[in-house]
């Protein structure tokens, strides 16, 4: 059975969300980042970056949330989470995944780092306003790309929507405006999917109960 190593309210949620959309069996293995478990063996042997998520399947370890969600969509094509290889839809799917990691995440991650993630002496409060402004610029690009459609590729929900909406959730948690009613509606629609609620429940349940062993 596939194992997902994660911690609640991190990018690991994206992977659990994809698995819940698919309806696949998986084991969730909590890695307590607050206790430094990510940076110590045995986890660091699995993922030298010491970060979550990691997917483990029969000795094959894969990190990077976008790569994992894409792998899962390809592994379970009936889910529709990834378009067919070589199609234009696939090219657009890739484009939006890379956009999330390279553009949309970055200002929000800068905000998070300088609000709480970095050691206090490394934080630069003055950077926040610039990061918020940068987010506004990329959110506008996203809104234009969405073009008022239901999902980023049109009618089909894909793993790109998981990555985008999860990241927009960070912005909402920071009380940042998404800049347009259509992007607000998109975020509410996608973040309201039952599979995300199940993923969050699974994270909190397994976190409280410790390591899950019965799948
Ligand atoms: N690009 C990676 C980033 C993974 C990442 O930064 N994960 C954070 C949680 S959201 C983490 O594990 N941080 C722990 C640390 O840096 O020690 C991905 O998308 O999977």
Under the banding of pLDDT at 50, 70 and 90, the label for residue 210 is very low
Alpha carbon nearest to ligand 1 atom 11, residue: 51
Q: How many residues does the chain have?
A: 215
What predicted TM-score, i.e. pTM, was given to this entire model?
A: 0.94
Structure confidence by residue, pLDDT tens digits, 23-74: 999 999 999 999 999 999 999 999 999 999 999 999 999 999 999 999 999 9
How close is the Cα of 135 to the center of ligand 1, in Å?
19
13 lines ligand 1 (CB under 6 A): no
The predicted pLDDT at position 212 comes to 40
Atom of ligand 1 nearest to the CA of 38: 17
Domains 2-80+195-209 and 88-193 share a fold: no
Every domain of the chain and the residues it spans: 2-80+195-209, 88-193
Q: How confident is the model at residue 214 (pLDDT cuts 50, 70, 90)?
A: very low
CATH 3.40.30.10 is right for the domain spanning 88-193: no
**Counting Cβ atoms within 10 Å, is residue 50 exposed (0-12), middle (13-18) or buried (19+)?**
middle
Helix, strand, or coil (residue 147)? coil
Nearest ligand 1 atom to the CA of 31 is 12
Classify domain 2-80+195-209 by CATH architecture.
Answer: 3-Layer(aba) Sandwich (3.40)
Model pLDDT for residues 92-130, shown as the tens digit of each residue: 999 999 999 999 999 999 999 999 989 999 999 999 999
Q: Which atom of ligand 1 is nearest to the CA of 51?
A: 12
Ligand 1 site, residue 104, Cβ cutoff 6 A: no
Provide the phi-psi class of 135: left if phi over 0, else alpha when psi is between -120 and 50, else beta.
alpha
């Amino acid at each position: 059975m596939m194992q997902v190593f994660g911690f609640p309210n991190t990018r690991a949620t994206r992977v659990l969300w994809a698995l819940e959309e698919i309806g696949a069996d998986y084991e969730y293995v909590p890695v307590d980042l607050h206790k430094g478990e990510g940076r110590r063996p045995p986890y660091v042997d699995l993922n030298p970056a010491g970060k979550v998520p990691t997917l483990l399947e029969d000795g094959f370890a894969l990190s990077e949330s976008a790569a994992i969600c894409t792998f899962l969509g390809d592994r379970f094509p009936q889910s529709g989470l990834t378009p067919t290889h070589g199609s234009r839809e696939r090219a657009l799917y890739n484009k939006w995944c890379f956009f999330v990691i390279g553009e949309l995440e970055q200002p929000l991650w800068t905000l998070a780092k300088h609000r709480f993630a970095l050691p206090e002496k490394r934080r630069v409060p003055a950077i926040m306003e610039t990061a918020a402004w940068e987010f506004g610029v990329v959110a506008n690009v996203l809104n234009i790309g969405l073009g008022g459609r239901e999902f980023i590729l049109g009618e089909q929900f894909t793993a790109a929507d998981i990555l985008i909406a999860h990241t927009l959730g960070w912005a909402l948690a920071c009380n940042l405006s998404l800049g347009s009613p259509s992007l607000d509606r998109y975020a509410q629609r996608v973040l309201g999917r039952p599979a995300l609620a199940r993923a969050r429940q699974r994270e909190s349940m397994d976190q409280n109960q410790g390591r899950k062993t019965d799948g």
